[in-house]
Amino acid sequence: MPTASNGSVSCYYETDGEGETVVFLGDVGYGAWQWGWQHAGLTGPFETLVTDLRGAGRSDAPPGPYAVDDFVADVQAVLDDHGERTVHVVGAGLGGMVALELARISTRPASLGLLGTAPGGADLTLDPLFGSPADPDELESSLAAALSRDFLDAHPDEVARIVDWRAAEDATREAWDAQAAAVEAFDITDRLYEVDCPALVLHGRDDAVWPLEYGRRLAENLPRGEFVELDGGHLIGIERSREVNDRLFGFFESA
């Protein structure tokens, strides 16, 4: 599978399908496993490009702390390596911040799909989301902050698979802290007017870590923002995958 280099940092990515490219940027600490539900739903009508943010999965984990600007430069390197100029971008949590900043400073994003994110992270408490990849019990218990109780109770087999994927791909504590520092330091609340591409903001009403109101205010302050509130917790792309995929598909088709 291909890698792109941003200076000394190697960034893993993989692509599938044909058509307009949709890039997926993940949340703090999670590997690319988190996009399996969207990959299955959007590949074919679109080319999907999934990358591990620095610190997680198969990308390098240099010493931190990181900044959102670091991730934006990594994504630019991936897109240059792949040869794509204009893309649709889907970002969750930290990845949503990266998507916003990429759209603010460049014309590469044709549109944005923003899941459970915010324009600033200083007031967030992300620690409940962390689980050590070496501790399966901790990985499972930390899902209580990411997924609703209804989902966890109704899908034990899915939860077990997620724990296995997290053990293989998620960030260590050191790398997780480096990623979380980027969230805490990021704030473009007063510069959202500079993000002028269409943006669909999807947020779980029971998100325990990235509050629903953050997503609502984000959409209201984006020049071309649209807000959709869905049942579920933080990882809404997993809990409501069919509806999320349908909404992303329609949004990208019309962008």
- Which residue blocks in the chain are alpha helix, DSSP H? 36-42, 68-82, 94-105, 136-142, 149-154, 156-169, 173-185, 212-221, 236-239, 241-254
Query: Are 203 and 229 a contacting pair, CB within 8 Å?
Result: yes
Is the pLDDT confidence value at 92 over 70? yes
Q: What is the mean pLDDT of residues 57-67?
A: 97
Q: Find where tokens 């997680």 sit.
A: 56
**Element holding 201 (H helix, E strand):** strand 199-204
Grouping H, G, I as helix, E, B as strand and the rest as coil, residue 154 is helix
**Tens of pLDDT, residues 113-141:** 999 999 999 999 999 999 999 999 999 99
Report residue 116: phi and psi, to 5°. 50, 55
CB atoms within 10 A of CB 42: 25
**Of 141, 135, 100, 131, nearest to 117 (Cα)?**
100
Q: Can you give the pLDDT at residue 142? A: 98
Left (φ > 0), alpha (ψ -120 to 50) or beta: where does 11 sit?
beta
Q: What is the C-alpha to C-alpha distance for residues 237 and 195, in angstroms, rounded to an integer?
A: 23
pLDDT of residue 108: 96
Domains and CATH numbers, the chain: 3-254 (3.40.50.1820)
104 has pLDDT over 90: yes
Tell whether omega for the bond before 45 is within 30 degrees of 0, i.e. cis: no
pLDDT in tens, 203-249: 999 999 999 999 999 999 999 999 999 999 999 999 999 999 999 99
Q: What is the mean pLDDT of residues 152-175?
A: 98
| pLDDT of the residue at 2 | 87
What is the rounded distance in angstroms from the CA atom of residue 130 to the CA atom of residue 29? Answer: 7
Chain-wide mean pLDDT for the chain? 97
pLDDT of residue 1: 67
**Percent of the chain predicted with pLDDT > 70:** 100
On whether the CB atoms of residues 13 and 214 are closer than 8 A, the answer is: no
Q: What is the pLDDT of residue 255?
A: 79
17-31: pLDDT as tens digits:
999 999 999 999 999
pTM above 0.75?
A: yes
